[in-house]
Every structure is written in C-alpha cells, then in structure tokens.
C-alpha cells in the first residue's frame, strides 16, 4: 500500500511539474512553517512537555482559531480569526492531508485563475466557510483551525473548471488499489461523504464537515459565475484520499 501511495504522489508531482503556481507552493510552505514553529507539532522545546504542552496547544488554538461563541461579539481579534485559522493545523495528519490536497488541486486552479485572484479566492472562500460553520454553531466554545474550508473551495472550483480531469483515487473498499475516475465523479462523491458526515457530526471536538460543504459550494459557485463554460478536458494523475478537515482541538 505504501509503495502504491508513493507512486501516486510521484505521479501527482509530475502532473504539476514545471507549472507556474507560486501561490500554491507558498501557501503550503507557510502552513508547514507555522505548524512546525507552533506547539501542535510538539517539536519546539519552548512549549515544554506533558501538561505544559497541552496547555500551550489549547491557548494557541484559542488565540488563532475561530471560536464561534466569541466570533460575533465584535472584538477586533476575533474578527481576524477566520483568516488566521486557515494557516493553523491541529496535528501532523491534519496538516499533511490538507497540504496534499492543496498540492494536487491548487496548481491547476491557480494557473487558471491567476496568482492574485487565486490568493484572494483562497482566503476569501476559506474565511467564509469558517464563518458559515460559526454561524450555524454560534454557541460552540470549541476552537476551529485548518485550511480545509479554503481547500474545499479549491476542489469546488477545480470540479467546475476541469470536470473531465482524470483523478487517481485510492479506495479503501477496493483494498486501496489506485483507480482513475473523472473529477465530476470523484469530487461530487467526496462532497456527498462530507454531507453525510455533517449530518452525523456531534457538538464535540472533531471535523467541521459543514465548513467543507460551504467552501466547496462557494468555490464551485464562484468558478461558474466567473468563468462561464468549463475548461476543455484534461488529464491529471493525482491521489484523492479522504482529507482531514478543520479540527476542533
């Protein structure tokens, strides 16, 4: 399984090699740098260990993450958190899952949109996705962090712009054998899974699937209004595992 997974990542890298997507790669680098420097990575001795580290992580997530119960109180600090939360991740799996999706689907979307428009689209849709989740869960005291709302918007835009792009997927019920489907099959299937998961989600810590759905809808809607008819068919070899979503540490 590991060898197949590695081969899929290599193929994904080849598919975007030589492409002009500096914003995508800069976003990946920034998210990784923020994670490594923060307490969630567990690598910095400045945050201590054991209970001290856990306390530092909780304080860090509350400072930079979205807390729905505090977001609409009007403070300047809380108003900025839908943007800052996009660059904070709760765990290694959370970070790597999100960055893989951004790496695979971000480059072609950025090339189609252009650099300036892509970064505004990414931050704008990501912030609105977190705001949408916060509005529905206005009483929640859980801090919400992660780039999945923004990356879901990228997936929505990719679906509209490149609906026939071939996406290599690893499906658990097929023993993780790599199979290729068009984006118009893979990405709506992913969105349907988010919808089902959102309906079963509890109020406790976990993944904010609603933010995924809001981001996906915003991305697809924006691309359809901004670009009209979809781009001509293309072929993209890229892994499409189940992503980690916004974490509620």
**Interacting residues of 204 by C-beta distance below 8 A, sequence separation 6+:** 142, 248
> Do 190 and 209 form a contact (C-beta atoms < 8 A)?
no
Residue 193 in tokens: 């899974």
Pairing of strands 166-171, 177-182: antiparallel
Q: 148 catalytic, yes or no?
A: yes
Of residues 234, 222, 6, 220, the one with CA closest to residue 100:
6
* Residue 244, number of CB atoms within 10 A of its CB: 23
Query: Active-site residue among 140, 148, 152, 169?
Result: 148
**Angle, in degrees to the nearest 10, between helices 183-200 and 148-161:** 150
Residue 103 in tokens: 């790496």
Of residues 122, 101, 100, the one with CA closest to residue 110:
122
Residue 70 in tokens: 């505090």
Of residues 115, 123, 59, the one with CA closest to residue 85:
123
Residue 181: in which H helix or E strand, if any? Answer: strand 177-182
Q: 19 catalytic, yes or no?
A: no
Catalytic residues: 148, 212
């Amino acid at each position: 399984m590991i060898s197949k997974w590695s081969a899929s990542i290599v193929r994904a890298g080849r598919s975007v090699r030589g492409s002009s997507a500096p914003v995508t790669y800069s976003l990946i680098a920034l998210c990784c740098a923020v994670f490594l420097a923060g307490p969630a990575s567990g690598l910095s001795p400045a945050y201590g260990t054991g209970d001290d580290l856990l306390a530092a992580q909780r304080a860090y997530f509350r400072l930079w993450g979205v807390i729905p119960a505090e977001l609409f109180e009007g403070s300047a600090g809380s108003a900025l958190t839908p943007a800052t939360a996009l660059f904070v991740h709760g765990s290694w799996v959370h970070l790597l899952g999100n960055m893989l999706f951004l790496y695979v689907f971000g480059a072609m979307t950025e090339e189609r949109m252009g650099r300036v428009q892509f970064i505004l689209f990414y931050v704008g849709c990501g912030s609105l996705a977190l705001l949408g989740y916060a509005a529905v869960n206005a009483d929640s005291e859980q801090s919400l962090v992660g780039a999945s709302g923004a990356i879901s918007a990228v997936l929505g835009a990719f679906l509209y712009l490149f609906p026939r792009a071939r996406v290599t997927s690893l499906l658990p019920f097929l023993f993780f054998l790599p199979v290729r489907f068009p984006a118009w099959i893979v990405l709506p299937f992913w969105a349907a899974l988010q919808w089902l998961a959102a309906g079963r989600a509890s109020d406790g810590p976990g993944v904010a699937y609603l933010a995924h759905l809001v981001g996906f809808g915003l991305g697809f809607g924006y691309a359809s209004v901004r670009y009209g008819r979809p781009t001509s068919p293309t072929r993209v070899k890229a892994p499409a595992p189940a992503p980690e979503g916004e974490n509620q540490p």
